[in-house]
Amino acid sequence: MKNLNLNQIQALPRLERMHLINSLGGIKSANLIGTMDAVGNENLGIFNSVIHLGSNPPMLSFMMRPLTVERHTYENIKDTLFFTVNHVHQDWVEKAHHTSASYDRGISEFEKSGLHTQFLNEFSAPYVKESVIKMGCSFVNEYPIKEHGCHLIIGQIEQLYFDEEVQHPDGFLDLTRVKTAGIIGLDGYVNTSELKRFEYARPNQPTTLK
């Protein structure tokens, strides 16, 4: 088994170190965050850091990289206070990944990637039409991470859309049915399949399948 200490990790070439450390967190969610600025310019970006925060009220978070360059997603959220989170599906991961390209403000990543905007129920931020699981969120707060200069963005889910066929009677969404994609590192897209689903675990009782 290969072993690297901190000094050896830091001595690695930049790109090798970046890909290595980014992949250590395992398979992460693949989501597109849609925003619009105050004058109507649409923006779309791929994120692998969206995580659940709580269900009452329903909240999620994602990490914004340091603001050392223009971050249109961040600027749009702070200006308008709204954004959408859209699942990426396996049959269009190439289009989703293209949104990571650095386009100038005023150029729509929707258009450049071949994806389509969708506006629903007068929500001001654009959804991805191709996504079958999507959320409209309002900005709640941000927490600067002083160690790296990143910002943790907190959002509340105001609107939720999904195909009814993927929901189990207990509320669980089976994302494998709609081929939601995952990401390893920054650019490795993977498909998913359900291994097992378990009942609630209790002390001193055997783990049982649902």
pLDDT band, very low/low/confident/very high, at 147 (cuts 50, 70, 90): very high
For the stretch 8-52, pLDDT in tens is 999 999 999 999 999 999 999 999 999 999 999 999 999 999 999
- What Å distances lie between residue 26 and 136, 182, 184, 203, CA to CA? 27, 10, 6, 28
Within 10 A of 115 (CB to CB), how many other CB atoms are there? 25
Q: Is residue 76 part of a domain?
A: yes
pLDDT at 69 exceeding the cut of 80: no
Q: Is residue 6 part of a domain?
A: no
Q: Is residue 73 part of a domain?
A: yes
Of 193 and 86, the structure prediction assigns the larger pLDDT to 86
CATH number at residue 83: 2.30.110.10
pLDDT at 192 exceeding the cut of 90: no
- The alpha carbon of 147 is separated from its chain's Cα centroid by a whole number of angstroms, namely 22
Q: Is residue 133 part of a domain?
A: yes
The boundaries of the domain holding residue 111 are: 14-190
Q: Is residue 7 part of a domain?
A: no
Q: Is residue 186 part of a domain?
A: yes
pLDDT band, very low/low/confident/very high, at 67 (cuts 50, 70, 90): confident
Q: Is residue 171 part of a domain?
A: yes
